[in-house]
Chain A
Amino acid sequence: QSALTQPPSASGSPGQSVTISCTGTSSDIGGYNYVSWYQQHPGKAPKLMIYEVSKRPSGVPDRFSGSKSGNTASLIVSGLQAEDETDYYCSSYAGSNNLIFGGGTKLTVL
């Protein structure tokens, strides 16, 4: 199973919105509504931000939202803040009892 495809980098100015894409296939993202997004600061463990495409765990700011269209999922970060600058990873159920992650996107707040 190949990794999901994420852009290596994304950027936006404080207060703006930025969208990070995660592209898979009809066998993973396109076939199931089980996409998650994780935020990972350098040297730290990942933090769950979005699960099941668009659901937010308690404690995650509503500036973070998720969506999916076809084989591509998206993480939208609105009202960008300096603390949002870090790495983001998507994951998806891929059928046959497999989970796959994306390669990660480094978000820069300009």
Chain B
Amino acid sequence: EVQLVESGGGLVKPGGSLRLSCAASGFTFSTYSLNWVRQAPGKGLEWVSSISSSTSYIYYADSVRGRFTISRDNAKNSLYLQMNSLRAEDTAVYYCARGYNWNDHFLIADAFDIWGQGTMVTVSS
């Protein structure tokens, strides 16, 4: 079964750090771009970051650039999101998602076909 499973969420104080992980199974991980998308409680979806299959292309939303770092380990079929200098507005469910298509401008996928169940990150004192 094709699957993504996130972990690492929790409660952290403002200014703190957290590292999210996403374990993949059921597909050839190294050939797909991967992404993080978040959803604040009761709110809509927000794109956070994307990474190409070979890590040649890495992109961030303006809201997290300089604070978050996306990475992947193709040998371990895992995606990561290192989150530093966390703020209250980073509170959300964080989903990892697999890239589906090819965007000639983005140079990776902009549509996501497989999503994890999400992991909750709460930033509060």
Contacts and interface: CB of A to CB of B under 8 A. Distances in A.
Interface string A81-104: 000000001010101011111111
B111 A45 contact: no
A93 B100 contact: no
Given A57-B100, A97-B59, A98-B59, A36 B45 contact: no
B45 A38 contact: yes
B113 A101 contact: no
Interface residues of A, number: 27
A89 B116 CA distance: 17
Interface in A33-55: 34, 36, 38, 40, 45-48, 51-52, 55
Contacts of A55: 101
B112 A48 contact: yes
Contacts of B50: 99
B111 A36 contact: yes
Contact of B95 (A32, A45, A100): A45
Interface of B: 37, 44-47, 50, 59, 61-62, 95, 97, 100-101, 103, 105-106, 110-113, 115-118
